[in-house]
A = this chain, B = another copy of it.
């Protein structure tokens, strides 16, 4: 990349003052062990490729026509998955686009939005983009969320559940409590990772997703994505579930930014993914099993690992600081995510990969910590 001097003379003040989101890097090298952006180690359902290939063979010509404007097939399939009406379902170009529309539709008010101090780092970016005050509520010392800490005036609440990068799960009882205590605000539950969550052993609940609450609570809006549990990060599809009036607001907001829907191939592929329930159940269980074995391996190396309900683990090395571990792994072509932020700078976020990737990671860490012990003892 050549050096470019940026001239902001013609920019709006909004453009000048942005703080864009910076996603995890996407290096393109062979033999890289890429455990930094929480992609699924398994491919998408074979039905996805078949559906897109069929759509192409049957209708390559039809790419000349605009897509189904309301993405009806996809929304209907998603509605049936959760026993909802199609008018309780919204789809967009990835859940990040959906979340941007959520901020504009429900949070653009006089009062602040509440969110945990540790969560998805795009939330403060959206707030900044739309001129919304975001008040960050500190997680407890064990990184759990205390609903009582949210008892303050606000125009809405947004919580990633399971939370990222901690991986911890908030109970439906707590979500219901937030919704009832803030009945005039929208409570957004960002469930990017929910399909990897499991009911806690000591819980009386039978569900983990707040989608099960939306017929009961008209102010709960749930966002999800095809990028994680459905292995379709490359297709850019996200969705929201909620009361039909909330979905209508999102639809109007979308049609005021970009009135066109998902492209035809994304609609076809995403629909096929939703319909292949068996493959979905199988791969998500495999990811959960891999997560548990990765957790055990890291623990055997002395790592403290938070109980994860996602396809990543949040782990703290027993010795050696996390940023140095990340740097050392990188030298061996293993990329994990490190956040240089208060409270979490001693942790690494490691995506659940294949068994082979885990072997490579654990082997590298084993050598690394053996070396660092040696170095430490020499230094003493």
Using a CB–CB cutoff of 8 Å, the interface residues on chain A facing chain B are 1, 4, 6-15, 18-23, 26, 28, 34, 37, 39-44, 46, 48-49, 52-53, 56, 60-69, 87, 93-94, 96-97, 100, 104-109, 122, 125-126, 128-129, 155, 184-186, 218-219, 227, 231-236, 243-246, 248-249, 251-253, 255-266, 269
Contact = CB atoms under 8 A, between A and B. Distances in A.
Contacts of A263: 93, 234-236, 263, 265-266
A232 B6 contact: no
A259 to B, nearest CB: 4
A40 B61 CA distance: 10
A21 to B, nearest CB: 4
Given A37-B66, A60-B48, A65-B39, A10 B252 contact: no
Count of this chain's copies in the oligomeric assembly: 2
B245 A10 contact: yes
A56 B244 CA distance: 36
B49 A56 contact: yes
B256 A68 contact: no
B10 A259 contact: no
B231 A63 contact: yes
20 contacts: A4-B245, A7-B218, A7-B243, A10-B218, A12-B155, A15-B252, A15-B253, A18-B255, A20-B251, A20-B252, A22-B255, A26-B69, A39-B64, A43-B63, A44-B60, A49-B63, A67-B236, A94-B260, A235-B263, A235-B265
Given A66-B227, A67-B234, A67-B236, A21 B259 contact: yes
Nearest to A219: B10
Nearest to A14: B108
Contacts of A20: 251-252, 255-256, 259
Nearest to A87: B4
Given A23-B259, A48-B60, A60-B49, A14 B232 contact: no
Q: Most chain-B CB neighbours within 10 Å: which of A44, A93, A258?
A: A258
Contacts of A46: 60
Contacts of A10: 106, 184-186, 218-219, 245-246, 249
Contacts of A129: 256-257
A40 B64 contact: yes
B100 A257 contact: yes
A264 B245 contact: no
B96 A93 contact: no
A338 to B, nearest CB: 19
Contacts of A52: 52, 56, 265
Given A22-B255, A64-B233, A93-B260, 15 more contacts: A6-B245, A6-B248, A10-B245, A10-B249, A12-B105, A12-B107, A12-B108, A14-B105, A21-B256, A23-B260, A53-B53, A64-B231, A66-B234, A96-B260, A234-B263
